[in-house]
Every structure is written in structure tokens, then in C-alpha cells.
């Protein structure tokens, strides 16, 4: 719709509903949505490698998926653990694992925690040679089943 000759035409003097009807604004919004979608897709596909160690023969890196799988398989070996969720964090070049556990109600948490920490520490530091491993933080988020015995 052309502007009258005596009225000044400004792109920034529209309401939102009027601006959405203008092709330049609609095109800019579609472009912005596509750009944000592409950025999100790129971030999801990106795999950040975690440095394990470096020597004269080269560098060794570990993928986050490998660490998640290690925690999953370690937890599967401990009967008291019913479910787990792992978050990997790097802070000042140090690798830390935050593991959230769902355990049996009759689980001895202190023993289970010690077994899991010892196993992960052994695999990551002793076997894989991770020099920047800061430790495992374990949080119990719930209990799967609690057996209540009644005294007669």
C-alpha cells in the first residue's frame, strides 16, 4: 500500500500487527527463527571432546557419550541402584561427574556410594589415565521401593 505524498513513511512507526503484514518485517522474523533453529541444531550435534591426557605421542580425548556409558554400566553392576542420571561438568580444566541416583529402599547408601566412586575413579584415573579428573558427586534423588516389615 503506497504512502500518501504528504505523509512521511517510516518503517519503525508501525504497530506489531501492521508490521507483521509488511514483507520486510515478516521476512526478517522468518529469517531470525530459521537462524535460531539452525543454531540450536548445531549445538545439539556438536560433540565436545574431553581431554584425557597428552604425551609426546599425541593427545587422547574422551567423548561425553563414553562417560555416560561408563557411568551407566557401572551403575548396572550395583544391584541397589535402580536408575541414574549423569551430568558432566568442566570447571577450570577439571572434569567432574554429578551422578543422581534412584536406589532401593534397603540400600546402604554409604557403601553403595563408596563402591560407585571407587569403580569410576579406578576406571577413569588408573585405567584411562585421566589426569584432570576432579571426582564424582553423588546425589540420591529417591528410593525405588521400601520394604516395611511389621513386628507381630
Confidence band (pLDDT; 50, 70, 90) for 146?
Answer: low
pLDDT the model gives residue 12: 64
pLDDT the model gives residue 147: 64
pLDDT higher than 90, residue 42: no
Per-residue pLDDT, averaged over 50-54, amounts to 82
pLDDT the model gives residue 2: 56
Q: What is the mean pLDDT of the chain?
A: 83
Q: Decide: helix, strand or coil at residue 27.
A: helix
Confidence band (pLDDT; 50, 70, 90) for 130?
Answer: confident
pTM: 0.64
* Closest to 135 in 3D by CA, of 118, 150, 110, 151: 118
The 10s digit of each residue's pLDDT in 57-101 is 998 888 888 999 999 999 999 888 888 999 988 888 888 999 999
pLDDT the model gives residue 10: 61
pLDDT the model gives residue 23: 77
Are 137 and 121 in contact by the 8 Å Cβ rule? The answer is no
- Report the C-alpha gap between 89 and 16 in whole angstroms: 42
Amino acid at each position: 500500500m503506497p504512502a500518501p505524498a504528504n505523509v512521511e513513511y517510516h518503517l519503525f512507526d508501525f504497530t506489531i500487527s501492521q508490521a507483521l503484514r509488511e514483507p520486510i518485517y515478516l521476512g526478517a522474523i522468518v529469517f531470525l527463527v530459521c537462524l535460531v533453529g539452525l543454531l540450536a541444531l548445531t549445538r545439539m550435534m556438536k560433540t565436545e571432546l574431553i581431554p584425557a591426557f597428552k604425551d609426546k605421542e599425541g593427545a587422547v580425548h574422551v567423548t561425553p557419550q563414553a562417560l555416560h556409558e561408563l557411568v551407566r554400566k557401572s551403575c548396572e553392576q550395583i544391584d541397589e541402584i535402580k536408575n541414574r542420571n549423569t551430568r558432566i561438568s568442566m570447571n577450570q580444566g577439571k572434569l567432574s561427574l554429578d551422578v543422581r541416583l534412584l536406589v532401593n529402599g534397603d540400600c546402604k547408601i554409604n557403601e553403595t556410594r563408596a563402591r560407585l566412586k571407587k569403580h569410576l575413579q579406578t576406571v577413569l584415573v588408573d585405567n584411562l589415565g585421566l589426569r584432570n579428573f576432579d571426582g564424582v558427586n553423588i546425589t540420591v534423588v529417591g528410593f525405588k521401593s521400601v520394604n516395611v516389615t511389621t513386628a507381630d
